[in-house]
Amino acid sequence: MKKYLGLFLLLSSISFGQSKFTVYFDTDSHQLKLSELNRLDGFLKNKDLKFTKVIGYCDYRASNGYNDTLALKRANFVFGIIEKVTNQKKLVIESKGEIFEQNSDLKVNRKVEIFYEQLITENVLPKEDKKDLFHQVSTAKVGDKLVLKNLHFYNRSGIFVPESRPILEELLKIMLANPNLKIEIQGHICCQQGTDVEDTAKVRALAVYNYLINNRINENRLSYKSFGSTKPIHKIPENNENERNENRRVEIQIIAN
């Protein structure tokens, strides 16, 4: 497995310019609901980011003028949070209203995109501590479990938010590069003890399974399972949002390598 590590690291070192982080809004609202505020707060805690621009968007309903105003309010609302948390004041604020390529899933269009650059700082972490998923898999033994970090879904669903794409693509590259690797995809939820009434953990594990199947990974190398809330990292009820985020997760278990 290690012979593929150099190629993967070479591919993953290519720069794609500015990065972006996206938050989503309810219909006709320019304020974020609590779950999105918590996601934004967690993102802003990274002190090594320089923010450059925020852009507001709306779905196509209502008039063009109304949507342009609402999208600008959304951008200004997010800018206000960035300014308060990071003290960064020189950002470009834009509204695109409904004038962009709309997604058929309307909730994906009600958003603000935050553009940022990663600041390069020396000696942030020793190289041996930078353990991405590829490194973890390459050194894992049969039976080991690995968390798919930064894998997020829309509330109570198996629909990935756009920020989940990098970890999904990384997992796919790992599966393609290691044809003998077999994994079980395991879903977990937070916050509630007992039965996972809506089967959210199973739905999310299945979403990862289907993503890999749809990208040419043989189903014989994959399985999926729900643990609901039976194997929390932190005791339920959790003390804060960080603990809830760590409990609501998808893991992979190495079955064969």
Q: Which residues, 6 or more positions from 6, have their beta carbon under 8 angstroms from its beta carbon?
A: none
Q: What pLDDT, on the 0 to 100 scale, is given for residue 5?
A: 44
Task: Give the mean model confidence (pLDDT) for residues 148-165.
Answer: 87
DSSP 105: S
Architecture of domain 19-118: 2-Layer Sandwich (3.30)
CB 209 within 8 A of CB 221: no
* 114 bridge partner residues: 21, 54
Interatomic CA distance for residues 65 and 107, integer angstroms? 19
Q: Is the pLDDT of residue 128 over 70?
A: no
Domains of the chain: which residue ranges?
A: 19-118, 128-256
Specify whether the CB–CB gap between 137 and 181 falls below 8 A.
yes
8-24: pLDDT as tens digits: 443 333 333 568 899 99
Give the other-Cβ count within 10 Å of 64's Cβ. Answer: 12
Contact between 26 and 58 (Cβ < 8 Å): no
Pair 145, 227: CB distance under 8 Å: no
Reported as a single tens digit per residue, the pLDDT across 179-210 is 999 999 999 988 888 777 788 999 999 999 99
Instruction: Give the mean model confidence (pLDDT) for residues 51-63.
Output: 94
CATH of domain 128-256: 3.30.1330.60
Shared fold status for 19-118 and 128-256? yes
Whole-structure pTM over 0.75, yes or no?
A: no
Residue 41: the pLDDT is 84
Tell me how many helices (H) and strands (E) the chain has.
7, 8
Lowest mean pLDDT among 29-43, 49-63, 128-142, 232-246: 128-142
